[in-house]
């Protein structure tokens, strides 16, 4: 049981390039989230999804896009990368609001934009 798997672990992008951070979960959780963590800061919510086909913006969605075509996958797309998007990105899942509130995090993806 892998839990929440994020790829890649590390990536360096040039300004203006695009890329997709992949997130896959095998826990059959309905809710999925993307957070970013800047040095010395807490976790800021980028986008989240309450189920396949449904996505919504978090606190800091600008410059990002997501899709949720399946329960398992929740990719995060960066278009026209900017230095301000240098950060650590965490994908997370939650079963639902009825049976449990525990959020499970992936190991993180370190992104540097130069």
Partner 1 sequence: GENVEQHPSTLSVQEGDSAVIKCTYSDSASNYFPWYKQELGKGPQLIIDIRSNVGEKKDQRIAVTLNKTAKHFSLHITETQPEDSAVYFCAATGNFGNEKLTFGTGTRLTIIP
> Given the rule CB under 8 A, which residues bind partner 1?
4, 31, 33, 35, 40-43, 45, 48, 50, 58, 90, 92, 94, 97-98, 101-108
Closer of 12 and 80 to partner 1 (Cβ): 12
Q: What is the largest CA-CA distance in the chain?
A: 43
Positive or negative, the CA dihedral 24, 5, 114, 87 is positive
Closest approach, Cβ 82 to partner 1, in A, equals 23
Closest approach, Cβ 16 to partner 1, in A, equals 29
Closest to 3 measured CA to CA, from 23, 17, 21: 23
């Amino acid at each position: 049981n892998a839990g929440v798997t994020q790829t890649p672990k590390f990536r360096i992008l040039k300004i203006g390039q695009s890329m997709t951070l992949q997130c896959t979960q095998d826990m059959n959780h309905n809710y999925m989230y993307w957070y970013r963590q800047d040095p010395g800061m807490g976790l800021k919510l980028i986008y989240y999804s309450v189920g396949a086909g449904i996505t919504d913006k978090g606190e800091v969605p600008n410059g990002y896009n997501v899709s949720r075509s399946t329960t398992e996958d929740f990719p995060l797309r960066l278009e026209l990368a900017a230095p301000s998007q240098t950060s650590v990105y965490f994908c997370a899942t939650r079963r639902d609001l009825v049976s449990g509130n525990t959020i499970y995090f992936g190991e993180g993806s370190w992104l540097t934009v130069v």
